[in-house]
Chains A and B, each alone.
Chain A
Amino acid sequence: MEAWSSLLDGFSAALSWYNLLFALIGCIAGTLVGVLPGLGPTAAIAMLLPLATMLDPAPAIIMMAAIYYGAMYGGSTTSILVNIPGEASSVPTALEGYQLTLQGRGGPALGISAISSFVAGTLGVVGLTFFAPVLARAALAFGPPEYFALTFLGISLVVSLSGRSLGKGLLSALLGLLTAMIGLDPLSGVARLTFGSYQLMAGIDFVPIIMGLFAISEVLVNAEKKTQMLLDSKNIEWLPTWQDIKDTWAATIRSGFLGFFFGLIPGCSPAVTSFMAYDMEKRFSKHPEKFGKGAMDAVASVEGSNNATASGGFVPLLAFGIPSGPALAVLLGGFIMYGLQPGPRLMQEQPHLLWTIIASMYIGNVILLILNLPLVGLWARMALVPFPILGPFITVFTLIGAFSLRYSFFDLWIALLFGGVGYLMRKLEFPVAPMVLATVLASMMETSFMQSITMSRGSFLIFFTRPISAAFMLLTVLSVASGMLLIRKAKAKNIELEESDS
């Protein structure tokens, strides 16, 4: 009851025209950075921090929070339409959404993405509203062994992402892990596999890798064929049908729960939960054979989960002042700028501010739905642009996005290199998604493993003696076993499981 009255109090402040204006600005900025490949909410929040100093705390933090979850809406647009994930969390969306675009269903995919993001994102905010203190305590039980077990579970998703080529999927994942090893060791700072190169010492970020594997390779594939139009069919649908919504509502709800609960764990980014949601949906779907060929429920699940994760990430931030990822770390900086320290004290001393921010997240989700849904038809028309014109646009924006990460041309060369690698992987039928997943998870996996072994003084049993860690390890075994069964069943029934990448 207390939460209800506090929330209503928060709404009364969040609905002021001033706070609404900054929620709108944040939503637009977030969507824009989400759409532009390579540019993430972290950079956008950091760029707007100086502007925030001119504002009161509430509108400033409302704006920055809106950028964060707004970026999750925007990331799906280029993923679906031109196979360029705007964020790492949109990679699974690209796998399915782009196939839907090629079938003339890009518009419905965008629409379902927006609706799912809204529903699951709102579910996440409801969780934040009513369950934050209780769940935050549970999230704090996560230590290095639990993180390693979680990433190990994540790596097991390779089985599901490999389609029919499990062996090639595993090799792809190993390549991703090896790439992530290049640079400085996360614990000791020792240079590894750098071959004396200063640029390699900074490591290879996964964003240029994703840009190369998806965007640049897409340009190369279409250039080779001298593609004129991406879409052959003139039978294009612009908006989702009621049937689409009916087919995907269950996936949306499931993804909301999965995304929110995993988002509670500090360090568990939307990129991780999006792959998990993809895998979960493949197991629950009535039509798993559609995965890899354009499964609308996969789009709903992935996009719902990353928005719910964004909401879940606010739980440890607001309850304990622990940011879940880089973007929330910058947001934490925003709080500190005002002399506010998120955590139990802030909840007691400034409850009105906190509840205003939480209320604004409900409003922000509505704003984003209103912003994105009507634009679906407009965005979907992008797929009708002839490739010789679209190709250079994709190239320029992708490479600028890759450059903006670290302001290094080295990242552009990496993007081009992996563009070539991505092209070859497509020809040789190596799935791309496992490589991306492994690259995203590698650092957390290795760091948590090393820390766990240090904690246990060399004993591997630590992963099995702690309850949460043991549960994740068991889940991993079950996940791999059921994944293998699924593949065997599919082969036996002669259902064609295409590789999950395009």
Chain B
Amino acid sequence: MLSTRRSTDIATGVFLAVLGLTAAVASTGIDEGAGGQLHPRTFPMMIGGLLVIGGATLAIRAAVAKSGGDKAIAWPDRNGWKLLLIAMASLVFYVAIAQTLGFIISSLIFVPWFIRYYGRYSHLLAWSCALGIAAFIYLVFIRLLQLTLPIGPLSFLG
């Protein structure tokens, strides 16, 4: 299922058509505002409508196309899915903890873990890179460029 281009085009087309329909329906609830020649809902509704047409066209064309010569989608294998989902989860985790712990500490957690998990490098290399990134964040982003980045418990460094 969803392993060939034909099947994914059908699914994607349906998804986009539903998305377009959702946008068009949601647009009906847009207020008029100060008034003008065109209602603020004009563009969103138009784009939603075009997405419905485009998505439906993609799905129908894929459905009626001959299945011979269909191309397989290069989905990852079981191990690939695991690596992908872990990578995504680690990025989500990084952003989630950065809100509380700040970018410096969260980078010190994320970076060595990523290097060790995906590269199997030594602790020394992983932690050296992590400390380098942390130092760069502090010296370049915070001190030199004066960005107000969250740094959590390290607020004394600001």
| Residues of A that sit less than 8 Å from B by CB | 33, 39, 44, 47, 167-168, 170-171, 174-175, 177-178, 181, 185, 187-193, 195, 216, 219-220, 223-226, 228, 386-389, 391-393, 395-396, 399-400, 403-404, 407, 409, 412-413, 416, 419-420, 423, 427-430, 446, 449-450, 453-454, 457-458
Chain B residues lying within 8 Å of A416, measured Cβ to Cβ, are 88, 91-92, 95
Q: Decide if A190 touches B50 in the complex (CB within 8 Å).
A: no
Indicate whether B18 reaches chain A with its CB closer than 8 angstroms. Answer: no
Q: Decide if B87 touches A219 in the complex (CB within 8 Å).
A: yes
Closest to B51 in A: A174
Chain B residues lying within 8 Å of A423, measured Cβ to Cβ, are 84
Minimum CB–CB distance from B128 to chain A (whole Å) comes to 10
Q: Decide if B33 touches A409 in the complex (CB within 8 Å).
A: no
Q: Decide if B38 touches A450 in the complex (CB within 8 Å).
A: yes
Minimum CB–CB distance from A18 to chain B (whole Å) comes to 22
For the complex, what is the distance from the CA of A363 to the CA of B38, rounded to whole Å? 49
Count, A-B residue pairs, CB within 8 A: 177
Q: Decide if B40 touches A185 in the complex (CB within 8 Å).
A: yes
Q: Decide if B47 touches A177 in the complex (CB within 8 Å).
A: yes
Minimum CB–CB distance from B23 to chain A (whole Å) comes to 6
Convert B115-127 into 0s and 1s, putting 1 for each residue whose CB lies closer than 8 angstroms to a CB of A.
1011101000100
Nearest 8 Cβ contacts at the A-B interface: A388-B119, A188-B33, A223-B87, A190-B33, A185-B40, A388-B118, A224-B84, A392-B111
Chain A interface helix/strand/loop/mixed: helix
Q: Decide if B8 touches A453 in the complex (CB within 8 Å).
A: no
Chain B residues lying within 8 Å of A458, measured Cβ to Cβ, are 37
Chain A residues lying within 8 Å of B43, measured Cβ to Cβ, are 177, 181, 446, 449
Indicate whether B154 reaches chain A with its CB closer than 8 angstroms. Answer: no
Closest to B33 in A: A188
Interface residues of B in 73-89 (CB under 8 A from A): 73-76, 80-81, 83-84, 86-88
Q: Decide if A220 touches B34 in the complex (CB within 8 Å).
A: no
Closest to A452 in B: B37
Convert B77-111 into 0s and 1s, putting 1 for each residue whose CB lies closer than 8 angstroms to a CB of A.
00011011011100110110011000100010011
28 contacts between A and B (CB under 8 A): A47-B146, A167-B58, A171-B58, A178-B20, A178-B51, A185-B30, A192-B41, A216-B91, A219-B87, A220-B88, A223-B84, A223-B87, A224-B87, A225-B76, A388-B117, A389-B115, A389-B125, A392-B133, A395-B114, A400-B149, A403-B149, A416-B92, A419-B91, A427-B74, A428-B5, A450-B38, A454-B36, A454-B37
Closest to B13 in A: A171
| Residues of B that sit less than 8 Å from A by CB | 5, 8-9, 12, 16, 19-20, 23, 26-27, 30-38, 40-41, 43-44, 47-48, 50-51, 54-55, 57-58, 61, 73-76, 80-81, 83-84, 86-88, 91-92, 94-95, 98-99, 103, 107, 110-111, 114-115, 117-119, 121, 125, 129, 133, 137, 141, 145-149
For the complex, what is the distance from the CA of A415 to the CA of B147, rounded to whole Å? 19
For the complex, what is the distance from the CA of A470 to the CA of B54, rounded to whole Å? 28
Contact among A181, A189, A219, A427 with B73 in the assembled complex (CB-CB below 8 Å): A427
Q: Decide if B37 touches A453 in the complex (CB within 8 Å).
A: yes
Contact among A167, A388, A446 with B57 in the assembled complex (CB-CB below 8 Å): A167
Contact among B54, B92, B146 with A170 in the assembled complex (CB-CB below 8 Å): B54
Minimum CB–CB distance from A220 to chain B (whole Å) comes to 6
For the complex, what is the distance from the CA of A171 to the CA of B56, rounded to whole Å? 11
Minimum CB–CB distance from B12 to chain A (whole Å) comes to 6
Chain A residues lying within 8 Å of B103, measured Cβ to Cβ, are 396, 400, 403
**Most chain A CB neighbours (cut-off 10 Å) among B34, B38, B58:** B38
Chain B residues lying within 8 Å of A449, measured Cβ to Cβ, are 38, 43
Minimum CB–CB distance from A447 to chain B (whole Å) comes to 10
Minimum CB–CB distance from A225 to chain B (whole Å) comes to 7
Minimum CB–CB distance from A250 to chain B (whole Å) comes to 37
For the complex, what is the distance from the CA of A188 to the CA of B32, rounded to whole Å? 8
For the complex, what is the distance from the CA of A453 to the CA of B121, rounded to whole Å? 62
Chain B residues lying within 8 Å of A44, measured Cβ to Cβ, are 145
Chain B residues lying within 8 Å of A178, measured Cβ to Cβ, are 19-20, 23, 44, 47-48, 51
For the complex, what is the distance from the CA of A168 to the CA of B13, rounded to whole Å? 10
For the complex, what is the distance from the CA of A395 to the CA of B84, rounded to whole Å? 15
Chain B interface helix/strand/loop/mixed: helix
Minimum CB–CB distance from A277 to chain B (whole Å) comes to 27
Q: Decide if B83 touches A226 in the complex (CB within 8 Å).
A: yes
Chain A residues lying within 8 Å of B44, measured Cβ to Cβ, are 178, 181, 192-193
Contact among B23, B30, B94 with A399 in the assembled complex (CB-CB below 8 Å): B94
For the complex, what is the distance from the CA of A395 to the CA of B16, rounded to whole Å? 29
For the complex, what is the distance from the CA of A429 to the CA of B4, rounded to whole Å? 12
For the complex, what is the distance from the CA of A380 to the CA of B103, rounded to whole Å? 27
Closest to A182 in B: B44
Contact among B5, B99, B147 with A409 in the assembled complex (CB-CB below 8 Å): B99
Chain A residues lying within 8 Å of B61, measured Cβ to Cβ, are 167
Chain B residues lying within 8 Å of A419, measured Cβ to Cβ, are 88, 91
Known pairs A388-B121, A416-B91; A189 contacts B33 (CB<8 A) = yes
Q: A223-B118, A458-B37 are in contact. List 14 more A-B contacts (CB 8 A).
A: A171-B16, A187-B40, A188-B34, A190-B32, A191-B30, A193-B44, A216-B91, A224-B76, A224-B83, A226-B80, A388-B114, A403-B149, A412-B95, A450-B37
Q: Decide if A192 touches B36 in the complex (CB within 8 Å).
A: no
Chain B residues lying within 8 Å of A393, measured Cβ to Cβ, are 129, 133
Contact among A174, A175, A190, A404 with B147 in the assembled complex (CB-CB below 8 Å): A404
Chain B residues lying within 8 Å of A193, measured Cβ to Cβ, are 23, 26-27, 30, 44
Chain A residues lying within 8 Å of B27, measured Cβ to Cβ, are 192-193
Known pairs A178-B23, A225-B80; A395 contacts B118 (CB<8 A) = no
Q: Decide if B94 touches A228 in the complex (CB within 8 Å).
A: no
Chain A residues lying within 8 Å of B95, measured Cβ to Cβ, are 399, 409, 412-413, 416
Chain B residues lying within 8 Å of A181, measured Cβ to Cβ, are 23, 43-44, 47
Known pairs A171-B16, A450-B37; A224 contacts B80 (CB<8 A) = yes
